Structure 1
Amino acid sequence: MTAVLDELDRNILSLLQRDSSLSLDEIARRVGASKTPVWNRIRKLKAAGVIRAEVALLDPEKLGLESCFFVLIRTSQHDANWLDQFLRAVRSRPEVIEAHRLAGDIDYILKVQVPNARAYDDFYRALIKEVSIFNVTSSLSMEVIKSTTALPIHPLAGEA
């Protein structure tokens, strides 16, 4: 169910998406409201699940995770047992940082962050031992052109 948001909610969320460490005073100042209503809005947005978590975004290269692979998976099996095995395998692997089920010719896409090609090969070999896969195509990301966690809600007036 879609949350009903007014302009104040959207302005608060726009700020928090960019920097969740902002103080309540600073958020209130930037959105032109007092602290108590802003605090109440944030609390309600958390309770409604609009704000799912507050996290630190880490730089993969500084952590030695310099290789990002996009893994396109096609399966010839679509039964519940195969799906359970696949989900367990994907969810248990920390190098899988995103996984999506797709419409179209490709069944799943994984985003896999690893130190290098050898580490990716180790991941691939472990995955195909755990679950039968019809076809796998892997592509190494050569450059990140855009990466954001911010969802496209309108920014504060006068900001882009």
Structure 2
Amino acid sequence: MSQDRAKEETPVRLDELDRKILAELQRDASRSLDEIARAVGSSKTPVWNRIRKLKAAGVIRKETVILDPDALGLEACFFVLVRTSEHEAGWQARFLEALRARPEVLEAHRLAGEIDYILKVRVKNARAYDAFYQALISEVKIFNVTALLSMEEIKATTELPL
């Protein structure tokens, strides 16, 4: 078994300070090390060392910013349910490549049950969604697609429960 695979299967052991640091980073990673250390009740050097170790262990994958889609004119959020009659590795590789190439696809999940995949797609409007849909079905054969327009985002977070 590869080290990456072992890392995926073995959760990293976190103590209370690690959890506090991660919670603070999830809230706002742009704050200074001093601010984070103060918030978790520690000093700067131990917090810096913990963050470094959490990055090395793969607990912290990357640091980024969260943009407001409405402010960028991306007001339509669709959840796209995909059913396929194709289950060969070649089809799946083409489908995943098509999804990864489309910046409108924010999330894609393979499901158990009647629906094979669910996609979270963020676009400007229904016309932009149709352009996305037309491009997708021109790249890969799909048995059935159902698009659900989100009328209101009630909760959205990137913060994992610690």
Q: TM-score range by the shorter chain?
A: over 0.9
Q: Displacement of 1:97 after TM fit? A: 0.6
Equivalenced residues, count? 153
Instruction: State the Cα distance separating 1:28 from its structure 2 match.
Output: 1.1
TM-score in terms of structure 2 length? 0.93
The residue identity in structure 1 corresponding to 2:41 is: G
Aligned-pair identity (%):
73
TM-score, with normalisation over the residues of structure 1?
A: 0.94
Letter in 1 for 2:18: D
Which of the pair has the greater relative contact order for Cα pairs under 8 Å at 6+ separation? 1
Of residues 27, 33, 50, the one that matches 2:42 is: 33
Gapped regions of structure 1 (runs ≥ 5): 154-160
Q: Extract structure 1 runs of 4+ deviating beyond 2 A.
A: none
Secondary structure in 2 aligned to 1:63? coil
Deviations 1:112-142 (A, max 9, x none): 0000000000000010000000111000000
Give the CA deviation at 1:27: 1.1
Give 1:27-66 correspondences, 5 Å limit.
27-66=36-75
Shift of 1:49: 0.9
In the aligned structure 2, how far is the partner of 1:17 from the partner of 1:49? 15
The one of 109, 120, 125 equivalent to 1:111 is 120
Structure 1 position 44, deviation (Å): 0.4
How many angstroms does 1:21 deviate by? 1.0
Q: CA deviation at 1:100?
A: 0.4
Q: Which of 89, 107, 115 is the equivalent residue of 2:98?
A: 89
